[in-house]
Structure 1
Amino acid sequence: MSKNPPSREAAEQAVRTLIQWAGDDPDREGLLDTPSRVVRAYEEFFAGYNADPAVILERTFSEVEGYDEMIVMNDIRFESHCEHHMAAIIGKAHIGYIPDRRVVGISKLARLVEIYAKRLQIQEKMTVQIADTLHDVLRPLGVGVVIEASHQCMTTRGIHKPGASLATSRMLGSFRKDPATRREFLRMLSLSGAGTLDNI
């Protein structure tokens, strides 16, 4: 979060300026409330700046009866915005980890994705942030993160290639060191039907 964010009034005036720059009249009836609506939407789009992802993972559970196998959560849908054009990024994240005595509630994995998605992003950086935070806070034996997304900065503008998607991954610990662990993770994604944006 910026240390000295501008006022709401300044933000709304910036939207008015953009409307005028685009060639329309911010004072016409249909656009009168647009600046305030856009600012409210931005509060939702970029709510991740107001949350600490490490705090989300602090509460863990140790009563797992010695469970030490891979945990995988697939198809965590997210909506983000690219930091280059502020166009939408819509995709799915798949997270796997091997616990070292402690596990985190599954909703916290989705929340972790949400916090980083609700910021200006590039997909590669978001993939690293999710994996590294999970690895640093939970201290599991290994972490794997795969993200697939469609970027409107290239599907609705510029090169105009609808249907194109980007896949990124980050493997840490045993997921990086042990090819068998990596294969198991990717196989679990395949068996679950992950690896497609068809249902986004």
Structure 2
Amino acid sequence: MGQGLASGIAQAPGAAMDKAFRPESPQGFRRRQSLSRPVRLIAAPGRDQVAEVISATYRQLLNRDLYVAERLSDAESQLNDGQIDVAGFVALVASNDLFLNRLNQLAPLRAASGAYLALLGRAPQPAEASRFLATRVRSGLPTAIAEILDSPDYASAFARDTVPYWRGLETSNGIPLATVNKTAALYGGNAALKPNPKSAA
């Protein structure tokens, strides 16, 4: 088959996943190494465990650990004292200007992708992206984010004790193959809010 003809054939389902996880691909290797692992807060946690949850939340939603002046000290204290759970802490970080401003700097469809990648660990399905954008226009970005956090999918995936993490790279939990491929195309390391601009539209 000629090279020109081969290049014109559409990629088969799963091609994005194959490319991301191809063993001989250095980029694929880096992606495998940087996939998140679940971080869960057990009952009666120690300070180190709480600190791990706090750091994992900042990295998942903001793609970095924060400077002292940026940290949500009140929310961290509430988590340390057991006044809120992990889901409550995630909600406070997601409603903070640091997170909102990052989404507001993105084009609408990229903002929807960024929100779902950060909060649900996967790309949005078309209907979800449309609903996110409609809610954002009608009621504002904080409400659109709250709907994700209050969704059955969030509760099923993370309950009240687990930091969101990248989980949209497999179909075993009921995520459609199209969403898996989209997540793989968007994935670029731990940057939950950095969807590939060529893939997020």
Q: TM-score range by the shorter chain?
A: under 0.3
Larger Rg: 1
Q: Which has the higher helix share?
A: 2
Q: TM-score, normalised by structure 1?
A: 0.25
Q: TM-score, normalised by structure 2?
A: 0.25
Q: Which has the higher strand share?
A: 1
Between the two structures, name the one with larger relative contact order (CA 8 Å, sep ≥ 6): 2
